[in-house]
Amino acid sequence: MHDLPLYGVVVVELSDSASAPFAGQILAALGADVWKVERPTGDSARGWGPSKWKGSGAAFHAINRGKRFISLDIKDRGELATLHQLIAERADVFFHNLRPGSAAQYGLDASSLRVTKPELICCEVGAFGHQGPLNSAPGYDPLMQAFAGIMSITGEEGQSPVRAGVSIVDFGTGMWAVIGILAALFRRQLKHVGATVNSSLLETAIAWMSIGVANYNADGEPGSRHGSGVAFIVPHRAYPTADGDLIISCANDALFARLCETLDRPEWAIDPRFATNAARLRHRALIDGLIGERLAGHPRACWQERLGAAGLPCAPIQTTEELVHHAQTEALGIIGKPSDDELAVVGLPLSFNGKRPPPLSAAREVGHDNADLEFLAKRQRSPRGADKACSGEVTSASSAASD
């Protein structure tokens, strides 16, 4: 699409699992020509289940659309040379999620690649980060939610810790990688220099803990679990109605007073135990219980209508099915497919001049676009496995996650 912001930018993505592939898909949705390099057996996410679509896990299709798919064994000297040639001849950006140190073994580290291509943007998507005592350890999304403390403040107090139901660290890391790449491309446009961008699962998880870290450094309290609520605002959680749960969020005292009026309990707003957010935090269990008792007497839709009419932030806890078929989701047009026989998936959550980038083409089978490497067919291959560039095993899945 010629009108997309990254049209003309070529990206080579050597990735596996979730975080780095998600970054590649974002770049593709923004118009970049993304070449996804898989090992001959394919990306690990192709085997994720239980949901499947055209032979691969639905999860793989969710984060690998809009790309070219080539298969290269970088442990084979000839195939590694092809990858180097692709980067040298085509790439503006090269990124990977190889284990720390593995890229250098194959000459795919930033310092090696920029000897011959100084303006190349290189991005390394890691697990625990590019330095420190754990920098070479493998990692996945649940490990980082645990390590960074996210799970220590997620769930109900007194119950076992839980992780977020979606891979927030994987997807967040992919987003940070894209932000870094875009910043580096902008700098290259101005200064004609390349850059090395480092992004990691742990750094992303720590970033998601920004408020928790600030709170701890302010008062020494490590934080606790509040279920659907948060530590610093009341009311700001799910409450049961007669037929389902409803999230109500009152981020300031004025909204709380309006809630009290809407619930026909105006006296709560002037009660010294509830009049301010600080007071409500001290009496959280009491006010939450009172609100819950009031809401339990009527159906969820009734309360949605009343609260919505009063301009109070609220939302039902929906299933995926309800989300997909909701009128607001349909109006946004964020779920779509490139053709009638393809899987409907979530598109880019951005619009340009009021227009969302069109749905990306579906993910293809392993090596689908090898023929696009004109020089691949012309070069003399060494027999697979006969001539290795390095005897070490390469695992590109170390910094991505599975659910």
Q: Which domains does the chain have, with CATH numbers?
A: 10-208+335-378 (3.40.50.10540), 236-316 (3.30.1540.10)
For the segment 241-274, what is each residue's pLDDT rounded down to a tens digit?
Answer: 999 999 999 999 999 999 999 999 999 999 999 9
Q: Give the number of other CB atoms < 10 A from CB of residue 183.
A: 13
Cα separation, 157 vs 200, in Å, equals 29
Pairing status of strand 10-14 against strand 33-38: parallel
Residue 403 has pLDDT above 50, yes or no: no
Candidate list 43, 141, 170, 288, residue with the active-site label:
170
SS3 36: strand
Q: Give the number of other CB atoms < 10 A from CB of residue 40.
A: 12
Residue 392 has pLDDT above 50, yes or no: no
Q: For position 223, what pLDDT does the model report?
A: 85
Pairing status of strand 345-346 against strand 335-336: antiparallel
Confidence at 382, pLDDT banded by 50, 70, 90: very low
For the segment 193-237, what is each residue's pLDDT rounded down to a tens digit?
Answer: 999 999 999 999 999 999 999 988 998 988 888 988 888 899 999
Residue 397 has pLDDT above 70, yes or no: no
Q: For position 401, what pLDDT does the model report?
A: 38
Q: For position 380, what pLDDT does the model report?
A: 42
Is 109 marked active-site?
no
For the segment 111-152, what is each residue's pLDDT rounded down to a tens digit?
Answer: 999 999 999 999 999 999 999 999 889 899 999 999 999 999
Q: For position 383, what pLDDT does the model report?
A: 45
% of residues, the chain, pLDDT over 70: 93
Residue 90 has pLDDT above 70, yes or no: yes
Q: For position 2, what pLDDT does the model report?
A: 75
Q: For position 54, what pLDDT does the model report?
A: 86
For the segment 331-345, what is each residue's pLDDT rounded down to a tens digit?
Answer: 999 999 888 888 999
Helical H segments across 131-196, by residue range: 141-147, 168-191
Which two structure tokens, joined as six digits, stand for 113?
């690649």
Whether residue 200 contacts residue 129, with contact meaning beta carbons closer than 8 Å, is answered with yes
Q: What are the φ/ψ torsions at residue 201 (nearest 5 degrees)? A: -60, -45
Using only the alpha carbons of the chain, give its radius of gyration. 25
Confidence at 41, pLDDT banded by 50, 70, 90: very high
% of residues, the chain, pLDDT over 90: 78
Within the chain, how many helices (H) and strands (E) appear? 16, 13
The per-residue pLDDT of the chain, averaged, comes to 90
Task: Please report how many Cα atoms fall inside a 13 Å half-sphere around the Cα of residue 381, on the Cβ side.
Answer: 14
Q: For position 143, what pLDDT does the model report?
A: 96
For 31-59, the DSSP string reads T-EEEEEE-TT--GGGG--S-EETTEEHH
Look-up of token digits 């992919």: 174
DSSP state of 355: B
Residue 328 has pLDDT above 70, yes or no: yes
Nearest to 144 by CA among 124, 173, 169, 176: 169
Which two structure tokens, joined as six digits, stand for 15?
């990735």
Q: At what angle do helices 168-191 and 19-29 cross, to 10 degrees?
A: 50
